[in-house]
Amino acid sequence: GNSVTQMEGPVTLSEEAFLTINCTYTATGYPSLFWYVQYPGEGLQLLLKATKADDKGSNKGFEATYRKETTSFHLEKGSVQVSDSAVYFCALKAGDSNYQLIWGAGTKLIIKP
Amino acid sequence: DGGITQSPKYLFRKEGQNVTLSCEQNLNHDAMYWYRQDPGQGLRLIYYSQIVNDFQKGDIAEGYSVSREKKESFPLTVTSAQKNPTAFYLCASSARTGGNQPQHFGDGTRLSIL
């Protein structure tokens, strides 16, 4: 079946460090891939997405590249800020599904000044 | 600005009581969803609706009920049959269920037991 695996958190970094949050997936067909961010006490916001192999999604300095050969969609940012502290969720919409997003468990990111 | 409004932000339930969580969207989206989020965990789908007057069970529908009488509204009732209702509930919508449309989320309702 379809599934998403994210690296376990929390991930703790110092300000201006390089960030990678790993996300790998299992899916039938050709899924679309998403990263969402959840700030404390709030709902989720779409951060970026990619709909086909080799697509790169980017937003607010974050990037992720859809790698079909490694079934991965790792989230990266070159220089993190304290305001990036949040929980990040990787999700996929499988090509054979017309409604459901499959969610990773989320990775909590803590940035220290 | 368009968006999704969930209310109330905090809700308390007594034993044996049904409570209803509101979700309203003005994005003109066809599809709406209810998720449950427990601490430190991902999202689990409770119910979803693709069009008015139609909805389907998700992965954890037991103890919950929904209605979709209007396109803009998708209320969730947590019934007394749900024995562990304490969680953060998130409502979402999308333009349509097919294709690559992302889901847009409300700010959530935190439900606790008195």
Structure confidence by residue, pLDDT tens digits, A32-90: 999 999 998 888 999 999 999 999 999 999 999 999 999 999 999 999 999 999 999 99
pLDDT for position A43: 87
For B5-12, what is the mean pLDDT?
A: 95
Q: Is B2 on the interface with A (CB under 8 A)?
A: no
Task: State the Cα–Cα distance between residues A87 and A109, nearest whole angstrom.
Answer: 6
For B35-56, what is the mean pLDDT?
A: 91
Chain A: give the shortest CA distance to residue B17, in Å.
Answer: 25
Task: State the Cα–Cα distance between residues A32 and A22, nearest whole angstrom.
Answer: 17
Mutation target vs A (from B1, B89, B105; most A CBs, 10 A cutoff): B105
Residue B100 has pLDDT above 90, yes or no: no
Chain B: give the shortest CA distance to residue A46, in Å.
Answer: 7
Quick one: three-class SS letters along B34-62?
EEEECCCCCEEEEEEEEECCEEEECCCCC
